[in-house]
Every structure is written in C-alpha cells, then in structure tokens.
Structure 1
Amino acid sequence: MDATVERGPKPGDPFLNEPLKCVVECDTAYASADKRFEFFRSWHSDIVDVGLRCGETRTFKAREKIWQLGDCALAVIESSPDHLLHWEHKKKPVVDHWLVTVKSAPVAADGTRRRKLRIKNLLVRDMCETEGAIIALFLPHSAVTAPLYPEIADGAADFLADYLALLHSNLPHLQQGNVSGVVAAITYMVAATLVPCREKLAEAQAPIDAVITTRTVRAIEARLADPYLTPDHLCRSVGVSRSRLYRIFEPAGGISNYIRRRRLLETRRALANSTDGRSVSTIAESMGFMDPSTYSRMFKREFGLSPKEARALGWQGVQQPHWLSIDQPADVASTFNTLLINNSLGLSMNTT
C-alpha cells in the first residue's frame, strides 16, 4: 500500500503566513422553513442521498463548514440532535474518495472521550445514520491505495478519530504554511488505519503522539487536584508506556514537571480571582503544595513574582499571560505536530 503526500509549499510563498480559512459555508437559515431540508440535501446531492428519519422538516436547521487541505476536504456538519439523518452513498458518485466520519461522545469522568469513526469508500454502497454534529474527511482514494473493503485497525481508528477532532479544534490557529503537514499527518493516519502494518504505524507516529498528548492533558485536568495523580496512573488511563509518555512530554520538562506547572498555574488563576477570598496557603494546599515557603519559591521561579504580588495584580485587574512559558527548540517549533501538541499543552509557540 502506498501513501502519497503532497509536497510542501515553495520557499518564499507570500501566503504561507495567511490564516487557513473556511472555503465553503452553508446554513439552512438562508432558506425558508419549508425548503430548509431540501436545501441541505442539495449540498451533498452528487455524493450521498440524505433522508430524514426523525424530526420535522419545517424545524430542520443545519450548518456546514468546509476547509480545503491540499487534495483533502474537512467538513463539519452541525444539525439539531432532534433530527436523525439517514445517509446513503450514491450508486454512481462523482468522486472516488475515502470518506472518514467522526461522531463525538460525551466526555467521561476520567477526561477521556470515545468517538465513533467510520471509513468507507464512496464507490462502495453504504448507509448510516447520524444526529447532531459530525466531522467528515474526504480523502482521494489515490492518496491511500487500500482495498475497497479494508481491514480496519481498531486502535489506529481510535487515534484517527481523536486526531481529526484535535485538528478541527486547532483550525483557527493554522496557517497556509501548515497545510502540507496537515495532509501528511492525515494521510499517514488513514494509511495506518486502513492497512495496519509496522511501517505505516511508524509513519503515523507523530500525529499519534499529538493524540496521546491531548488524552493525557484531559486526564490531568480531570484530576489536577488529586494527590494520587501520578505518571503511572496516567500511563494506565491513557494506555501508553512510561517511556513514551516521558518522551512526548519532554518539551514540557517531563510529565511530572508539567503536572506541577499546571497546578501552579491553577493557583495563580485562583489568586488573581478577586472573588476568591481564600488565603494563599489554602489555595496552595488545594493543589497539593503543603509547605508555604517551598510553594512561594516555586511560584516565583515559575512566574517571576510572588503569590502575594500575583494576587495584588490580579485584584487590580492587570491581565497576565494564560500560557506556560516553556522554551521550545527552534527546530521543532515549525512542525504541525508540534503546533498541535503545544496548543494541547497550553504552551506558547516559538515562531522564530
């Protein structure tokens, strides 16, 4: 199986720093109530037939945004959860594409989220039902040459679902210069999912790392104040080895250092909140810092001011940066995967 990736943009391209923009945006609000659903159906009439299994056509509302990513297209379709949509591939679709759809599930108590992913080729007759919001990726069949009825790797499919959701959340931060990296990451992930093998999984390693980072950050946020939150717990929760977790969080000084910094940041937010009248020591203890003097030293080393000074500035309404100022090597700051990881961690990017 081959996975073809588009070449990067030419040096000196004046549009590299331009923000990535939505190329198509449709909204049923532009149609009269009695024509909204037919208007929605027309958006996909050459690719799939859409029916309404549940809900009234007169109350139907939907919006769709599409981003062009090289030869790929990423669409986000939002409709009312009260309407059950039936999707069926056309007998003779106008394009030969892989269609990857992702449907989100609620966030669990441990911060994880299970997403349902489907991969089908538009040339294969297929049908499904959805409600609410979905992410749809259209990838040319030639980009990943796999059988029309491939064996799907469940583990890789989970990573691909989370990666597409992560990509969607980061679209506002992307620039045109990121597109080649986006296409490469997507192609490797789809290839690893459709025809799993050691080689394809290795190629998809960078985007998989971004997904692991996001999962880990969610698990940390869910139990940030828990004194029993340890790297071993995170390894079990996220399903990765200690060595891999440590390698991924190396830019943040290691996983333990990241947790400590996140807790310090949380105490700084509380100190800056004028409605929070708790003492400095009480706020520190709520995040596991039991020794006031040690906490004060760590806080000042991290933010350049004492907890009392941070509280005074916050109560005066002085805005402070919301990210953690961790220096990044310049040679990794330009990659798309690093951008995703830094956004997930809440780190500022070194763009030099």
Structure 2
Amino acid sequence: MEVIAEDQVGSEDGKPAQAERRRFPRSVKTAVEEPRPQVPALRPLLFSTRDLEPRAQFAAWQTYVSPLIDIRLPDNVSPEAGFAADHAAWNLGGMLIVQHTTPPHSYMRSQAKVKANFVDHWHISALRSGRTWTEVDGLVSEGEPGKMELRSLERPFRGRSTEAKTLSLILPRTLLSDTPASIEIRNNVALSGMLTKLLIDYLDIIQANLASFIAADLPHVVQTLRDMILTCVSSSAEQSVGTEHHSMVTVTERVRRFVENNLASSDLTVEQICRQVGTSRTRLYQIFEQEGGVHHYMQRRRLLSAHAALSDPSNREQIVDIAFAVGFSSAAHFSRAFSKEFGYSPREARNLTTPHYRGQTTSPASTDGTESFDEWLRTLSHNR
C-alpha cells in the first residue's frame, strides 16, 4: 500500500502537488518581571543577662519577668554567683512564641500579681531540657522533655525549676474559646502521647523557620498551631476519668465562653448565665470566688475587650462608643473602672499601640518608646 506523506496531496491530473509549507507564529519574548523579594515579617524581642556583671544578673532577670511572675533563687545560692539567662520572643500576631534558658529557681504568680498584671492567656510550654514542678490549687504538674504543659495565666500558680531550656506558646484564651473542644481545656495539665509529639515536632519546624516567614504565612501558622493544640486537648480529655474537678472546669469554660460572646449585652446577668449554662448561683459564685466574684469577672472581661479595641491601630471609634459597645452604660463609670484596672486612662491606652510583627532588643524597663514583653502580653489579644 502506498503511503502518502501528510504534507502532500494529489492534484486533479494525478501529479503530486507541491508540499504545503506550514507556518507557525514566531515566539514573542516578553519581559518577565523579577519577583519582588519577600520581606521577613518577624523580628525577635531579645533579652539576656550574660553581658551584665554576675551580681546584677538576677535582679535584671527579676525585672524582666516581673509582668508575669516573681522568682527566687534556691536557698543555697547567692545572687553574687550570677544568673545567666536568655529570652527570645516572636509575635505571630495571634500568639507569642517564647524561648528561654534559665538556671535553677523558684517562681510564683500570686493572686496579687494576677490582679496587678491581668492577662487572660494560656501558657503552653515544652521543656527541651530540665524539669519543673508547678502547683495550682493543691495539684502538682510535673514538666519534662516530651511533654507539653498547659497553664492559665489568669490563675495563681507556683513552682520550681532545675536548669532548663524551654519553648513556649502564649495565646489569648479567646483564640481557643470559639470551638466545642475548648470546654475540655483543663488548667495545669501535662499533655503527652503521639499527638503531643507531633505538636512539639511542628514547633521545632516553626522555630527553625522564624526568620523566613513573611506576613502572609503567619495567620496560617497560628491557625495550624491552634488546631493542633485543640486536637491534643481533646485526646487528653477522652483519656481522662471524669471527676467533679473536671466537671467544674467544664462549667467554668462554658461560663467564660457565654460571657465572652455576650459582653455587649446589657442583659448579661448572673441569672441569665445560670439559665444558659445550667448551674446554680451558689456554684457560680464558688467558681469565680478567686476572681473577685462573677460581677468583677464580667467587668474585667469588658475592660479587656475595650482595651483591645483602643489598642487596635485600625479602630478609630470614639472612646464612648467603645465603652457602650462592651456593655458600659456610663462613659464616666467606664473611664473610672478602666483607669483603676490598668493604671492609665482610655485615652492614654490609644498611645500604647504597637505595630504588628516588630521587635527590638530591649528591656522591659525601657523608657524610650521601644516595645517590651509586657506590652506584647497586654496587646496580644487584638492582634488576631
């Protein structure tokens, strides 16, 4: 059989026609715009005592951590011996990642400290080395490598630590409160197991890439960490035995969530909370006795919400409108309560705004307008 070439066809008189020349459009070279280099979003907030005289190191570290805890040296150790400690923090916008290395010491977050420096955050820590023992309400949690400890900064605690290296997360309670799993979160527990190991491994990956993240990465990192924490908490709750203590924790978290979701309501009352949560007034008062009472707790939550709004650089609402939005019916009452709670007026709070994702090497005693760890803690909740 004769095969006819694809580019040849016969003419009517049987003679082969001239091969057709196919023409293709010439490729046009277009100028390719070089991708703009992505600017890293995170700059760490650093503090170290190593450059100080040994006898000044412990006092400097005491000052630095004072917004959170009071610390003491072991009885047989003198401040003259030195206290070589390092601290680095990164602000992801919805949570802080903190790494610190410390010699042996004891620590306490007293009720007075909670009231004076109130932050309603969760502190989740993983020891790289060393051991800790932390007591809350008579129950002791032991920290060691391979575990993650979860603790509320809203409640008093005390403990001691050997020489240790720690990687921690600090995140506002509201970051975890909009999911059913949040009611299973118990204070002062040590999480372990395969899911906890995966969370620690993921933290290692994040820590190794902190200098490379761009701003668009950070919400995804925060969301993934949040989901992994809730998964670990849910798994731990499923394995725990139900107790009266656990039942009270569950009621407490349900109350917190209901209050948080109804701050702006003028009808937010003890009676309404009891009906919605399904508890008695007596039990509600018992739960919030250490908070100064349920009424004080509700007012504090409203003030914290107002503080977050005032500290938000994108929020230009009038102060009086913010006060009404969080449930205050009187501007004068709001101003007095705000000043008493934070030590400065609502108008002054607007000047405490800190830009997102910026850090500097500074100490908390800085008076030149630079950021401090204390400011990061206080403004954390509005960076979501």
Which TM-score tier does this pair reach, normalised by the shorter chain? Answer: 0.3 to 0.5
Q: Based on CA coordinates, which of the two structures has the bigger radius of gyration?
A: 2
Which gives a bigger RCO, structure 1 or 2 (Cα 8 Å, sep 6+)?
A: 2
Give the TM-score normalised by the residue count of structure 1.
0.44
